[in-house]
Amino acid sequence: MTFQISKSQVDGLPYNFADEVEKYQQAMLAHRFSGDAAPVAPGIIEAAVRRVQYPIEDGKPDDFVIDFEIVDDTPPPPEPPTPTERRTKLMFQVQAAQADAAAKVISPARARLLSMDVSRVYAKATEARTPADDAALAQHAAIQARLNALTYHTATLEVEIEDLADDKLDSWQMTPFPAV
């Protein structure tokens, strides 16, 4: 049976596999008549040389033949992304750009804190609100207006991506987010 070895294994060896197999085969052929101990080699080299035994009546010595096959296990190149995958990638880029623009308006930590402050203000009766509460509501409204402008721009870009012809996906350029 032909010994099969993967191309990646052969490529990873610190020596030339075919040359070493041939050296081992020649050593085995020379050994037939020597009476010395049989030559040894790494298992993958020994597996690539097959011993052929002839019937005694033929009067022929055993033969050693090279019998291996290198199987190409190189992974196929990746399939090109589908139009849907390319659109999805563009959408993620737009959403990441929106997150970056929003972080310039207010950091995520400050946004959470302001949101919690506003929730506490809304939990109070209107007549119990302080000037600091009114300032928090005004700050929240101003920031929300700026973030809404970014969200609107994101939605506009996403619709633009949805409407793109497949052959235009790779050349599409994102319109920069407005400075809000």
Convert the pLDDT of each residue in 9-59 to its tens digit: 999 999 999 999 999 999 999 988 887 888 999 999 999 999 999 888 888
Give the number of C-alpha atoms closer than 13 A to the C-alpha of residue 57, restricted to the C-beta side. 0
Buried/exposed 99-131: b ≥16 CB within 10 Å, e otherwise: eebbeebbeeeebeebeebbeebeeeeeeeeee
Query: At which residue do the structure tokens 């993967």 appear?
Result: 6
Buried/exposed 151-180: b ≥16 CB within 10 Å, e otherwise: eebbeebbeebeebeeeebeeeeeeebeee
* Global pTM value: 0.60
Convert the pLDDT of each residue in 80-128 to its tens digit: 999 999 999 999 999 999 999 999 999 999 999 999 999 999 999 999 9
In angstroms, the Cα distances linking 102 to 95, 106, 137 are 10, 6, 19
